[in-house]
Structure 1
């Protein structure tokens, strides 16, 4: 049996009771920590609560060399842990398909997702979001234009956009640098982005949520990662009031 478990948003205590029970009764526990991270905890703290040794996986382990995971699941009970909600990444879906091809039973135990947390913290309605995008760190003089094209397409359809910010080992993109990158690309393409919402440390006791123009958010201190960015479309009256009350958005004239 291979059980995919989402760990939630911030620390080891975010896991569901069902997920914790599955971990404690498992024969082997694997953790994929490259698509998302629990910034409020560390591996020793997780092992202390879960009462299990955790085997940390690299991207290559999951995508290119998954046999140790599948071999263990073929003869015993294995859990595969991910930050946030599981199955969001195609990597996880591919692993489940590989398990099914080998006749290994699988199940999913969901965790809190950043996509729903964004709606809760910002007040932006979930049915008004279009396609999301990821913003990678630039490489030399190269900067990706796809995220801004996705934002522009969504804005043209009056849809909000979630922009996932890059994670590279111990390097985490932060909201101010993301806005600088997006604004530079948008200017070259003649695209105007009137409003941003920045969210830091969703799931923690003290998340930061700020709404405003590019200059405001690019000069704001959001504190430690993880950060995520939202580009809202035209705001509904209730969305605007929520952002004014809880995210510091200046009242409309």
Structure 2
């Protein structure tokens, strides 16, 4: 089957869409969007319509997951090409990977147009070194009576090596996003179950809200005493800080010297114990 599928990242907020993305969205046969894997400052459809000058079709979770993106595949059959515009950078969501795999199996050419990702933006905005970035995890809700320990396990593995841990926050089944407070409560609950002594008042965290938006906010505080910030949010837990990172958190983000001192000592103790 001929045709081309474009997965186009539009960045985290208005003004971050690249010229390459604009050119693709203007040239394809049909443009689709999805907004359930992330959140945009304004209506994503209205924003693209304004920037690109054409209407878009909004897809639901059912369209992409239960229907396996059939509407996109049909559009490619009819028009030769189609684009799925997504918030942030493509392929961070398994939904996008599944669509690309299916299209490739059908003989459709696939091109991924990158945008600014929340992981890169979160590390950059925090002022932490990307060379010390460990694996990423998502703090998830309990489902089917089971609470996944994955986020805690990734955090433990990163802390044992002095690495930074980006924690993404779950999507609610009914729509919307996990709050920072909910995420911290999950981590505290996991600490009570696993008892490795990682989650404590001495562990600092960089709480980031609405990165790339006009009202973005970044607060450094103890992990167990999170600020009340609006979603979508991400939590970045530092590993062993070097002097440059420590100074950046203190001077730029207003982190308390006492908290940073306790954090460094806590991480060092965990690294020795683990």
Answer whether TM exceeds 0.5 for this pair: yes
CA distance in 1, matches of 2:194, 2:104: 45
- Superposition TM-score, scaled by structure 1 size: 0.90
CA distance in 2, matches of 1:5, 1:73: 15
Determine the structure 2 residue equivalent to 1:251. 257
Shift, 1:112, TM fit? 0.5
CA distance in 2, matches of 1:32, 1:47: 14
In the alignment, which of 223, 228, 252 is matched to residue 221 of structure 1?
A: 228
Determine the structure 2 residue equivalent to 1:33. 35
Determine the structure 2 residue equivalent to 1:233. 239
1:188 equivalent to 2:193? Answer yes
Shift, 1:140, TM fit? 8.6
In the alignment, which of 51, 61, 65 is matched to residue 59 of structure 1?
A: 61
CA distance in 1, matches of 2:254, 2:147: 30
Q: Deviation above 3 Å: which 4+ runs of structure 1? A: 138-143
CA distance in 2, matches of 1:135, 1:158: 20
Evaluate the alpha carbon distance shift between residue 121 and residue 53 of structure 1 in structure 2; reply closer, same or farther with a 3 A threshold.
same
- Deviation readout 1:16-62 (Å, 9 max, x if unpaired): 11111211222211112222121344433432333222211222322
Determine the structure 1 residue equivalent to 2:9. 6
Determine the structure 2 residue equivalent to 1:211. 220
CA distance in 2, matches of 1:208, 1:111: 21
CA distance in 2, matches of 1:111, 1:3: 13
Determine the structure 2 residue equivalent to 1:104. 108
Determine the structure 2 residue equivalent to 1:242. 248
- Structure 2 gaps of 5+ residues are 262-274
Determine the structure 1 residue equivalent to 2:181. 176
SS at match of 2:211: coil
- Pick which of 81-90 and 49-58 moved more: 49-58
Determine the structure 2 residue equivalent to 1:93. 97
CA distance in 1, matches of 2:137, 2:149: 11
**8 Å contact from structure 1 (residues 10, 41) kept in 2:** no
Report matched runs for 1:14-29 at 5 Å: 14-29=16-31
SS at match of 1:143: coil
Shift, 1:82, TM fit? 0.9
SS at match of 1:35: coil
Shift, 1:210, TM fit? 1.2
Q: How many residue pairs were aligned?
A: 249
- Structure 1 gaps of 5+ residues are none
- Deviation readout 1:189-245 (Å, 9 max, x if unpaired): 22223121100011123421111213432xx222x2211111111111111111112
